[in-house]
Amino acid sequence: MRFDLISLFPELFEPFMRHGITSRAYESGALQLRLWPLRDFADGAYRRVDDRPFGGGPGMVMLAEPLRRCWEAIRSERAQLGLPLGPTLLFAPQGRRLDHALVAEQAQGSGAILVCGRYEGIDQRFIDQCVDGQISLGDFVLSGGELAALALLDAVARLLPGVLNDALSHQQDSFNPAIAGLLDCPHYTRPERWCGPQGEADVPEVLLSGHHARIEAWRLQQRRDATTRLRPDLLQGSGAEATEPKHAKSKL
């Protein structure tokens, strides 16, 4: 799996690739990330990549031509390597909201070309002719697409085999179909009794019982309660009527 990423600030991604659990995906080669500095494809001594918008208005707009040159260079390299060209995805506020289903789609594919916009946006002609889909983190505006790209790459890396210590770990995450798309349940660890700013608090007794069926039933109820309270929209068509998650028989 390979992602080619177009950005004005590719250096933002390098620390992310070297640290944390998801760095295993890059070290093993399960996930490859090729960074393409957009200014390398711009003209002039200043390597200009933006200009004022036609029709007036605030801000600057990213030029279509440097983006096209970079995009064509990526597609040429992917073709030479025998890689599928893959979709071209732009991170923008008007895009499809990033969710588990979209992450799973990308994790099952062969990669994509990721375009990180900046300024007021990019020339619509590049979007119309070269972009296959758009992705948004939510109903707010970021300074650029890099943070959204990092979120997508991190989420995809977690789903790849060998990245997490426990292969079943991501199946218990919030929104995963393995737990009917519900929110995750609360988690506890040592000590059994913790004294916090509001007094002593104990780990729920059921988690100390060693009774696997009871523990799974408690976790399922906690997931349902949390989802009902915090994200009731997830319950529509979630299959929350299931009596236990698919991994109920796995050991603790």
**Which are the catalytic amino acids?**
93, 120, 158, 173
Count helices and strands in the chain by DSSP H and E runs: 7, 9
68 with 93: CB under 8 angstroms? no
Tokens of 13: 């991604």
- What is the distance between the alpha carbons of residues 73 and 36, in angstroms, rounded to a whole number? 9
Give the largest CA-CA distance in the chain.
70
Q: Which residues contact 167 (CB under 8 A, 6 or more apart)?
A: 161
Report the SS3 class of residue 239.
Answer: coil
142 with 148: CB under 8 angstroms? yes
Amino acid letter for position 117: G
